[in-house]
Amino acid sequence: MARQTQGRCPDCGAAVLVTLVRGKPGEIASHACGARYCEYERCRVKALMDEMVQFPTGEWYCPHHGLLLAARELVSLYRAEGDADWTAICEIIAELLPELVAKVEARERSRVSSRS
């Protein structure tokens, strides 16, 4: 017999309804989870949305992989055949990089402070 109780989402920490059935893992009710997984291949980073970076195309990445992908895109746009696409380059620099750099720096600060 199933019973329902309040619990916490292991990903985002929100209070959620959990269905318990003896001998089975609890099932967490669907909710607006604030956690996201990095979509970079083989990356296992999971964090709250304010610690992750969402690209304009909708994918979520950890700051490390977001910065790597932004740098690759900048190099690709710069090395394109003919003239570089300076409009696209400027958009990445102005709209994406400031958030990425801030989140990478914040993550590094938290790592340093947790080691102390």
Note the pLDDT of residue 50.
92
Residues 8 and 62 in one domain: no
Confidence bin at 114 (pLDDT 50/70/90): confident
Residues 18 and 41 in one domain: no
SS (H, E, C) 26-43: CEECCCCCCEEECCCCCC
Token pair for 113: 């402070």
User: Which residues fall within 8 angstroms of residue 8, CB to CB, at 6 or more apart?
Assistant: 14, 15, 16
| Cβ-contact 80, 61 below 8 angstroms | no
Alpha helices in 52-96 (DSSP H): 63-78, 86-91
Residues 15 and 53 in one domain: no
Residues 17 and 67 in one domain: no
Residues 59 and 111 in one domain: yes
Q: Which residue has the tokens 């990425």?
A: 100
User: Which residues fall within 8 angstroms of residue 51, CB to CB, at 6 or more apart?
Assistant: 63, 103, 106, 107
Residues 72 and 103 in one domain: yes
Eight-class DSSP state of 1: -
Note the pLDDT of residue 82.
87
Residues 48 and 65 in one domain: yes
Token pair for 106: 């914040």
Q: Which domain holds residue 2?
A: 1-33
- Average pLDDT, integer, range 89-105: 93
Give the total number of structural domains in the chain: 2
Residues 96 and 68 in one domain: yes
Note the pLDDT of residue 97.
94
Residues 40 and 21 in one domain: no
The string of pLDDT tens digits covering residues 19-42 is 999 999 899 999 999 999 999 999
Confidence bin at 86 (pLDDT 50/70/90): very high
pTM higher than 0.85: no
Residue 45 has pLDDT above 90, yes or no: yes
